[in-house]
Amino acid sequence: MGFTLAHISDVHLGPLPKAKLRELASKRVTGYINWQRNRAGNLGGATLNSLISELARENADHVAITGDLINIGLDAEVVAAGEWLRANFDPQTTTVVPGNHDAYISGTLAKAIKAWWPYMTNDDQQNYVKGETFPFLRVRDNVAIIGVSSAVATPAFVAAGRFGKRQSVKLIKLLEQTREAGLFRVVMIHHPPVRNATPPHKRLYGIGLFQKVIREYGAELVLHGHTHLPQRHEIEGPSGTKVPVIGVPSASQSGGGRKPAAAYNHFVISGEPGQWHCTLTSHSVNSATASTFEVTDSRKLYG
């Protein structure tokens, strides 16, 4: 059968905890208003609960979560997201990278990393250590899962991310190491590393650098979130090969909104270098029932 990997993103856990006035005296106030006006009615707990139940039935070997667990960076949100992770996912079989909402204001990302670190750390790290966390590597069977962070605090009305030189140096080493080990390399990042995949104020800064690394050192699959869309792109790998770049809708999105309803992607990976096999199946919540899922995409990425 092969190694099975489920991918979800943009959980946006709600409802928002009660916020003190001083906590909203920042960019948070715009996010709070946006949540109350636009997101509270569309990002539903019932839909997310249905998706989590479906994932449990699917029983994939590993779950990849590409960020935006929270909304406006409140300390209570960070704590609640940690509790949600522990209640639903084993850190040995689940990997998380942060999104822009997980770094909503200065200081939020550091708190999130500390609270969620068992899900975003190297295999050999036994305890939380303050400092540079990304990229990190986890190896499961013949699959390398590499977590990259694009999460940075930004001004109001900006949801951009960043991939810079420091991460690129470490990412190169991890890609080389896992290529030599003959592993299928999955790179997780919140923002899509593809030009024009998002409006300018939501883009990834460092797309060119990220693509240069992949073009020179390779990867087999890149997973992202951020756009709340079922996006399918390719970027260049070594020697003219193409690397699939796959996005997924928000895990909390109820049906009937502007964005596609909640979905998860399911990958089956097998084979060996030069002869990889990988299939993608997308499962989307049925807008009429909000509790059943239907296959909305099925394709071969390799083999």
What pLDDT score does 131 carry?
75
Which residue ranges form the domains of the chain, and what is each CATH number?
Answer: 3-302 (3.60.21.10)
pLDDT tens-digit readout, 125-157 = 888 888 778 999 999 999 999 999 999 999 999
Contacts 24+ apart (CB under 8 A), 290-294: 290/44, 290/46, 290/47, 290/50, 290/254, 290/255, 291/46, 291/50, 292/50, 293/50, 293/51, 293/54
For residues 164, 109, 184 and 125, what is the CA-based torsion angle, rounded to 10 degrees? 110
What pLDDT score does 20 carry?
74
In this predicted structure, the answer to whether residue 4 has a pLDDT above a threshold of 80 is yes
Q: What is the pTM of this model?
A: 0.95
Of 293, 295, 291, 287, the C-alpha closest to 255 is: 287
pLDDT tens-digit readout, 182-204 = 999 999 999 999 999 999 999 99
Mean pLDDT of the chain: 93
What pLDDT score does 41 carry?
63
pLDDT tens-digit readout, 218-272 = 999 999 999 999 999 999 999 999 999 999 999 999 887 789 999 999 999 999 9
What pLDDT score does 127 carry?
82
What pLDDT score does 271 carry?
97
